[in-house]
Amino acid sequence: MNKLIAVTKSSMPSFEEYCEEIKSLWDSRWLSNRGAIHKEFERLLQERMGVDYVTLYANGHVALEVAIDAFRFPKGSEVITTPYTHCSTTHSIVRNGLVPVFCDVNDRDYTIDVEQIEKYITDKTVAIVATHVYGLLCDVDAIDRIAKKYHLKVIYDAAHAFGVKRNGVDAISFGDASMISCHATKVFHTIEGGIVAFKDKDIYDRIESLVNFGFKGPEEVQYISTNARMNEFEAAMGICNLRHIDDEIARRKIAADRYVEHLSGVTGIHLIAPQDGVTSNYAYFPVFFDGYKYNRNEVQEKLKKENILARKYFYPIVPDMKCYKETYSAKDYPVSRHAAETVLALPMFSDLSVEDVDTICKIVLDK
C-alpha cells in the first residue's frame, strides 16, 4: 500500500524545544488558571497581532461561545450568520439563547454575501457572526458599514485565519470580537485552544470573569458561566509554534502554488482566486468539482484507494444537519449548498512535498 497522505498533519516544534518551554512547570507546579506561561503567550500574541485585548481559551468552540456571551445580548435576539461554516459557529449562537438567521454566501470566496445581509435585518437583530473560510476573509469593510448603519455588533469566526492579513492588518483585528481556533489541525495550534481579540475594554474585563466560572474575585461569582481556560502545557505549545509559524506558512505556500500549477484552467475544476490585499495562511486547499469528468465523491474515492485522504469541507451545510433541518430549509441557501456538494479539501500541511502534490494531482487528473 502507498504511504498515507492525510488531509492535514499537525506541525510541532522539536521535542527538546517543547521540553525546555515546560521545564519551569516542574518547579512552579502551576499547571492551569492563567499561569506565567499563559500570560507570556498572551503578551506575544498581542505583540504579533497588534491588538490591545487578547484572551486564551481551552478550545475554539468555547472561545466563540464565551465571546458571544460577553455581549449580553437579550435572549431570543436574532444573529445573522452563514450556513457555510462548521456547526460550532451556529451552536455557539444557539447555546447563548439567540436565533441564527442564515444569509447565503457569495460564489467567489464562499464568505457571507454582504449584498444580502440587509434584507435579513429586523428589529430583533443584534449582531452579525460571519466566518472567514479557508484562510480567506469576509468583506470586512462592507460588514462594518452595515453594522454601523443598524447599530449591530460584529463577531468573526476567524477559526481559519491565524496569520492572515489584509493590507498589513491582522485578521483578528476586525469586528468587535474575533475568534481564532488553535486546534491541532490548524495552521497554528496549541494542541487544543482558542484566541479571542476584543476592541472594548469593558467586554474584555467581562471575559476575564466568564472564562473562569464567572468569578470576579476569589469569593465572588458574578456570572453564570463556564470553565474555558487554556492550560500551561497548551500555552507552551503555542509559544513554541509561534517561533516557527512564518516558516510553516511559507512551506504551505509552496504546496499551494504547486496545486495551482496543476489544477488551474482545468474545465470543471474551480479554484478560489486570491483576494486583493490579503496575505493568505494557506490553511486549506479547497477544490470545487463542478462539471468535471469526475464528481467530488468520485475524486475522493480515487484518492482514498491510493491511501490519500481528502475532506468534504464544509459538508453538509448547517441547515442540512439533523439538529437544524426541521427549522431551516437548505434549499433557501443555493450557493452554500452547491459549494458543499462540490467541494473537496485536498491535503495541505507544511510537510507536504511538491512530489506528493504531483502524485495527488496526477490521480485527480488521470483519465
**Domains within the chain, CATH numbers bracketed:** 15-104+111-239 (3.40.640.10), 244-365 (3.90.1150.10)
| Residue among 279, 272, 271 at smallest CA distance from 249 | 279
Query: What is the C-alpha separation between 39 and 23, in angstroms, rounded?
Result: 16
pLDDT beyond 90 at 138: yes
In 24-105, where does DSSP find H-type helix? 25-28, 36-49, 60-70, 87-94
pLDDT, position 39? 96
Instruction: Please tell me whether residue 300 adopts helix, strand or coil conformation.
Output: helix
Residue 230 reports pLDDT greater than 70? yes
Distance CA 10, CA 12 (A): 6
The answer to whether residue 332 scores a pLDDT higher than 70 is: yes
Per-residue pLDDT at 216: 87
Q: According to the model, what pLDDT value does residue 140 have? A: 98
Q: What is the mean pLDDT of the chain?
A: 96
Mean pLDDT of 310-317: 97
Cα torsion at 292, 295, 299, 300 (round to 10°)?
150
C-alpha 71/C-alpha 170 separation (Å) is 22
**Phi-psi category of residue 72: left, alpha or beta, with phi > 0 → left and psi -120 to 50 → alpha:** left
CB 173 within 8 A of CB 151: no
pLDDT at position 61 is 97
- Environment class of 246 (CB within 10 Å of its CB; exposed 0-12, middle 13-18, buried 19+): exposed
Calculate the CA 89 to chain-centre distance: 10
Residue 1 has pLDDT above 80, yes or no: no
Single-letter code of the amino acid located at 79: V
SS3 80: strand
Confidence of residue 182 (pLDDT cuts 50, 70, 90): very high
How far, rounded to the nearest angstrom, does the alpha carbon of residue 141 sit from its chain's CA centroid? Answer: 19
Average pLDDT over residues 113-134: 98
What is the model's pLDDT at position 242?
A: 98
Between CA 217 and CA 302 the distance in angstroms is: 58
CA atoms of 237 and 259, how far apart (whole Å)? 30
- Answer for the pair 24, 36: CB distance below 8 angstroms, yes or no: yes
pLDDT reported for residue 157:
98
Region 281-303 average pLDDT: 97
C-alpha cell at position 245: 509559524
What pLDDT was estimated at residue 367?
64
Percent of the chain predicted with pLDDT > 90: 93
* Pairing, β 343-346 against β 285-289: antiparallel
* Cβ contacts of 96-104, under 8 Å, gap ≥ 24: 96/65, 96/68, 96/69, 98/68, 98/73, 98/126, 98/127, 99/124, 100/318, 101/125, 102/318, 102/319, 102/328, 102/332, 102/333, 104/332, 104/333, 104/334, 104/335, 104/336
